[in-house]
Amino acid sequence: MSNFEQKIEEALAAPQNQGEMPDADSVGTVGSPDCGDMMRMWLKFSEKDGKKVIDRASFQAFGCQTAIAVASIATQLLKGKTAEEARSLSAQDLAGDLGTLPPMKIHCGQLVEGALRNALDPEGIEENQNKSGAGTLLGEINNSKPSAIRIVPL
């Protein structure tokens, strides 16, 4: 087992912040044009030292193990960040301690990044979707309510 796979396994042993957040301030959903998987992220903001920061983040995914592991780590990393700080994080940043995402798994991290960006800038969803090529999935995603985690092999 590679070091990356080992870390994925550790992250999946106790995934954090899964599930819908009923009192969220914003939500973002995205679908991957590469694999058809989907990710939804909720954000709750609070005021700290005069700044609006992310107090909590949660996610639901129809996705692979890497996407779920990155989302679990990302929702922990986001705590305390301003929207501007969160917006500057790349898929690789959001993977945190998982280390460098293998080329085949970069789009899994980008699924998390996309859901985050759409939660931060909900008015930009349509534009973002069209840019990412995932526009055809948007209607389907918005009409679905992910309620379970589907884990597929790495």
> CA separation (Å) from 143 to 44, 109, 139?
22, 23, 6
The verdict on 151 binding ligand FES (CB under 6 A) reads no
Nearer to ligand FES, 33 or 122 (CB): 33
Catalytic amino acids? 35, 108
Given the rule CB under 6 A, which of 9-17, 59-67, 78-86, 134-142 is the region that contacts ligand FES?
59-67
Closest C-alpha among 13, 69, 12 to residue 39: 69
* Residue ranges of E strands in 7-76: 26-31, 38-48, 51-62
**Which of 54, 64, 73, 116 is close enough to bind ligand FES by CB under 6 A?**
64
Helices 65-77, 3-13: axis angle to 10 degrees equals: 70
Question: Which member of 15, 28, 31, 63 binds ligand FES (CB under 6 A)?
Answer: 63
CA dist., res. 54 & res. 111, Å (int): 19
- For residue 1 the two structure tokens come to 């087992």
Q: Does 112 bind ligand FES (CB under 6 A)?
A: no
The amino acid occupying position 129 is: Q
* Binder among 98, 111, 120, 137 for ligand FES (CB under 6 A): 111
Query: Residue 43 or 67: which CB sits closer to ligand FES?
Result: 67
Which residues contribute to the site for ligand FES (CB under 6 A)?
32, 35, 37, 63-64, 66-67, 108, 111
